[in-house]
Structure 1
Amino acid sequence: MRDSLRNLWFVILCSSFFVQGMKAQETPEVDLGGALRFNYNLSSWKPEQKKRGGDFGYDMFRINAMAAYRGIYVNAEYRHYSEGFGGGMLKQGWFGYKFNEEEEIQLGLTQVPFAIQQYNSHNWFFNLGYYMGLEDDHDMGIKFIHNSENWEYHIAYFKNAEELRFGDVSAVSASRYSYDVAGNNKEVHQGNLKFLYKWGENLKSQVGVSGQYGGLYNINTKKTGNHHALAVHYEADYKLWNLKSEAILVSHNPKNEKGVSEEIIVMAAYGAPYEVASDFNLYTIAVSRDLPVNWGPVSNLQFYNDFGYMQKREGSFEDSFMNVTGVLITAGNLYTYVDYAAGYNHSWLGGNFVDDFAAGNPDAKWEARFNINFGYYF
């Protein structure tokens, strides 16, 4: 009964959204853009790669499309990564309608309103929370946004994460941009609330709290567990400085089959799954400073340091860390990230990939990757 009522509420919201949209704007508008990126990297844990001086190759090509007609607009972004990072995937794609200058609604594959947005980082690697689905996550649902001078709030309902297989008992596909729960569990019926208070002129500040709660449907046991997260976050801009800080509490309570640990969940993106601790606290702090220059096409250098700490609540698990120091070079439409990314028990930075964010390795050592990403955005 509760599931039926939830589904009915979702249909009513969608219908209301489209009825409201049949207004104004008789001239269609279309805007196309995209990006092409190449990547060089040199990794401390790859001896053969170091012998040949690193690798330089294709990273990603993307197409962005925005269009509007009769009050309804669409925003979509399709990306095609290299084979080793999952190939083609839709990052986002949603329909929207603005009721006025302060309020709008979005329907489709839209960004989950949680913590600092759009990014809680300055570098090309994101911050540690991205790898647990807590930064720049996108799911399938409907979202209402109110954004005024001092107050901003988001209310959202997500039916599920990106669904690509549509089978009766199909596992979540790993060919996705956002990290979501995968394996034998699926995210279902998630609700999100986010509130921000903004103030200041010379020192612009915004402090907020975010919460989310949803189900975890297990395709083997046919039972639904739950997951939830709570975050407090603060962001500030002062002259050429920017500060981003977050503290997040996360819990997952799956209903797995007998013999399968409930201290571990599986998450997936970029073509590959890995294990993550079910319960953890996450702390991040990121600082940047712009330096305007006039060096031919180069107009700005942004120096930054982004740090993340994952404190796992299972006592036998080893914690995970990440720190990225770098500079973003702006030259017209060419943006170049030069990063030194270091990780400890980090799947993408020197670990064994499979369980670094879960049990981890007590004998692990810090590993690092020097990375240069060249991206032309048009």
Structure 2
Amino acid sequence: MTSRTDSRRLKLLTLSLSISTAMAATAVQAAPDDQQTIEALRAQLQQMQQRLDRLEQQQSAGTSGSQQSVSTNEAPATTAPQQADPQSQQSLAQQNKSAIEQMQQTEFSGQLVFNGSFNDWSEQSKDTTGDMDFGKFVLAVDGEVDDLEYSLEYRFYDGYQFLKSGWLGFNPNDNDTIRVGLVQTPFGNMDYGYQGWYGTLPYLAGFNDNQNAGVKWDHHQGPWDTSLAFFKSDNLGSGNEHYGANAIGDSPQGNSEENQLAARAGYTFDHGDDYSTQLNVSAKGGQLYNEQTNRSGDNWSAAIGIDGSYGNWRTMLQATTYEYNPKNPSEAQSEISDNVIQIGAFGFNYLIPKRGQMYTASASYSMDVDWGPVENLFFFNDFSYIDPAGDFSSINGGFGDQDDPMLNDLGVLVTAGPYFAWFDIITNKNGLNYFGSPVDNGWHTSIQTNFGINF
């Protein structure tokens, strides 16, 4: 009921009350036999008085609530009290609504992981039947506002931490995206180039699932996916505490990848009913600046890949060729062979051939299950191989001639709601001395589990 209606009813009741009062006064002077009529008039008068009192209370409460609502939205008090400007109230409401909508478009997520391992080359691992360690803690933010988007992922490990990726994006239309920041390099099979937990030799060498600092343009049109990127620097800084492997300036050899161009084109053949095959080609190259000699060389790489999804099955094949042409300090000064390039990631340095080819083959099968909380089993196998162009060793400063590196990762991912567990059997021969695996022309095995929660 509005205040205008309440006021009108109040006036009518007051008028009725006045009339009834006059009638009652007249009735008092009436004959005794009219006493019944007098009592009836008095009852009506009492009922009208009660209704009038209730209406006045309701009107008083409504006026007080309205004043309180206005005072709640008023601007901070000044020296002279003022009534709230309706336009300013509307503007403030719109700003609050916009802020709430933006918060609703931002997603915060994370991951906590623990690692268990048994390495056949470790005496301690044999004596204790393996080891259990903290794996990583991940915090991520993703969001969008109209045509703008953003993403950030920061990782904490035992003893070091780094920004894994972080970028600002713009979508001028439904087919194009432009991203600036620490973005994924468009190279080879995407997004990772492998399907298990551990990765492949091209990933360890920096040719798959690599993050670099620059600007990237992605275009999607029908079956075509094309990307073009410019990277001012492959790393944020010259150290080795980052996700993707790259040549690093803060090392005895002193090379840093700068001013790199990358391009990728993929065409997807649709076979219907969740069956498709993508054929892709990619290339990357640019300046290789040496911080020891202050001279610039160059580097380049190219890859061809096949990524097939066939129902529950997925297969990947990739061939990569590459070459680094550095301007190194003398081998006597660096104590590093000119036949290798020193790269780094995850807090340590290692060596790869400066020229060669790399090959990968991966297969996986996804199976939904109903085993209590367990929802899915994901079986996978990733195999990779490096064919160096010339003598190469991943130990002893690169001096020597070891057998060609090979790596295989066989396992299963178990998913139960937000919980997950990877179980991997990783075998390698001369696998780049990654995480301490021996380089002795023999095969070695690491059994690993990585389990945790996504939130």
In the superposition, the TM-score normalised over structure 2's length comes to: 0.71
Question: Are the counterparts in 1 of residues 350 and 434 from structure 2 also a CA contact under 8 Å?
Answer: no
Tell me the amino acid that sits aligned with residue 407 of structure 2. Answer: M
Does residue 174 of the first structure (1) align with residue 234 of the second (2)? no
Note the alpha carbon deviations across 1:41-61, whole angstroms, 9 max, x for none.
Answer: 001101221111101121000
Separation of aligned partners in 1, 2:288 and 2:402: 23
Tell me the amino acid that sits aligned with residue 90 of structure 1. Answer: L
> Could you tell me how far 1:220 is from its partner in structure 2?
1.7
Structure 1: gaps spanning 5 or more residues: 1-24, 165-171, 353-360
Alignment RMSD (CA, Å): 1.5
Separation of aligned partners in 2, 1:250 and 1:161: 16
Note the alpha carbon deviations across 1:133-181, whole angstroms, 9 max, x for none.
Answer: 11210010000000233000000000012223xxxxxxx2111111110
Does residue 98 of the first structure (1) align with residue 98 of the second (2)? no
Note the alpha carbon deviations across 1:215-260, whole angstroms, 9 max, x for none.
Answer: 1100121111011101000010111100011000011000112336
Indicate the structure with greater helix content. 2
Note the alpha carbon deviations across 1:53-78, whole angstroms, 9 max, x for none.
Answer: 10112100010011333532210000
Alignment-derived partner of residue 300 in structure 2: 228
> Could you tell me how far 1:330 is from its partner in structure 2?
1.1
**Which among 309, 318, 336 is matched to residue 421 of structure 2?**
336
Separation of aligned partners in 2, 1:349 and 1:343: 12
What aligned pairs does 1:102-113 form with structure 2 within 5 A after superposition? 102-113=175-186
Does residue 82 of the first structure (1) align with residue 168 of the second (2)? no
Structure 2: gaps spanning 5 or more residues: 1-97, 392-400
Question: Are the counterparts in 1 of residues 402 and 441 from structure 2 also a CA contact under 8 Å?
Answer: no
**Which among 224, 229, 250 is matched to residue 322 of structure 2?**
250
| 221-230 or 260-269, larger mean C-alpha shift | 260-269
Tell me the amino acid that sits aligned with residue 241 of structure 2. Answer: S
In the superposition, the TM-score normalised over structure 1's length comes to: 0.85
Which secondary structure does the structure 2 equivalent of 1:126 belong to?
coil
Alignment-derived partner of residue 327 in structure 1: 412
Query: Where in structure 1 do 4 or more consecutive aligned residues deviate above 4 Å?
Result: none
**Which among 270, 277, 283 is matched to residue 359 of structure 2?**
283
Question: Are the counterparts in 2 of residues 193 and 212 from structure 1 also a CA contact under 8 Å?
Answer: yes
Separation of aligned partners in 1, 2:435 and 2:295: 35
Question: Are the counterparts in 1 of residues 403 and 441 from structure 2 also a CA contact under 8 Å?
Answer: no
Alignment-derived partner of residue 196 in structure 1: 266
Note the alpha carbon deviations across 1:17-47, whole angstroms, 9 max, x for none.
Answer: xxxxxxxx88423210010001110011012
Separation of aligned partners in 2, 1:227 and 1:32: 38
Which secondary structure does the structure 2 equivalent of 1:90 belong to?
strand
Tell me the amino acid that sits aligned with residue 351 of structure 1. Answer: S
Separation of aligned partners in 2, 1:242 and 1:41: 27
Indicate the structure with greater strand content. 1
Tell me the amino acid that sits aligned with residue 179 of structure 1. Answer: A
Does residue 139 of the first structure (1) align with residue 212 of the second (2)? yes
Alignment-derived partner of residue 140 in structure 2: 64
Alignment-derived partner of residue 11 in structure 2: none
Which secondary structure does the structure 2 equivalent of 1:280 belong to?
strand
Alignment-derived partner of residue 371 in structure 1: 448
Alignment-derived partner of residue 3 in structure 1: none
Does residue 39 of the first structure (1) align with residue 124 of the second (2)? no
Alignment-derived partner of residue 256 in structure 2: 186
> Could you tell me how far 1:262 is from its partner in structure 2?
2.6
Tell me the amino acid that sits aligned with residue 111 of structure 2. Answer: A
Which secondary structure does the structure 2 equivalent of 1:194 belong to?
strand
Question: Are the counterparts in 2 of residues 350 and 368 from structure 1 also a CA contact under 8 Å?
Answer: no
Number of residue pairs matched by the alignment: 335
Structure number with greater Rg is: 2
Separation of aligned partners in 2, 1:88 and 1:257: 30
Considering Cα pairs closer than 8 Å and 6+ residues apart, tell me whether 1 or 2 has the greater RCO.
Answer: 1
Which secondary structure does the structure 2 equivalent of 1:162 belong to?
coil
Which secondary structure does the structure 1 equivalent of 2:434 belong to?
coil
Note the alpha carbon deviations across 1:320-376, whole angstroms, 9 max, x for none.
Answer: 000011011111111211000001111126534xxxxxxxx5x42100100011021
Does residue 30 of the first structure (1) align with residue 80 of the second (2)? no
Tell me the amino acid that sits aligned with residue 231 of structure 2. Answer: F
Tell me the amino acid that sits aligned with residue 250 of structure 1. Answer: Y
Which secondary structure does the structure 2 equivalent of 1:136 belong to?
coil
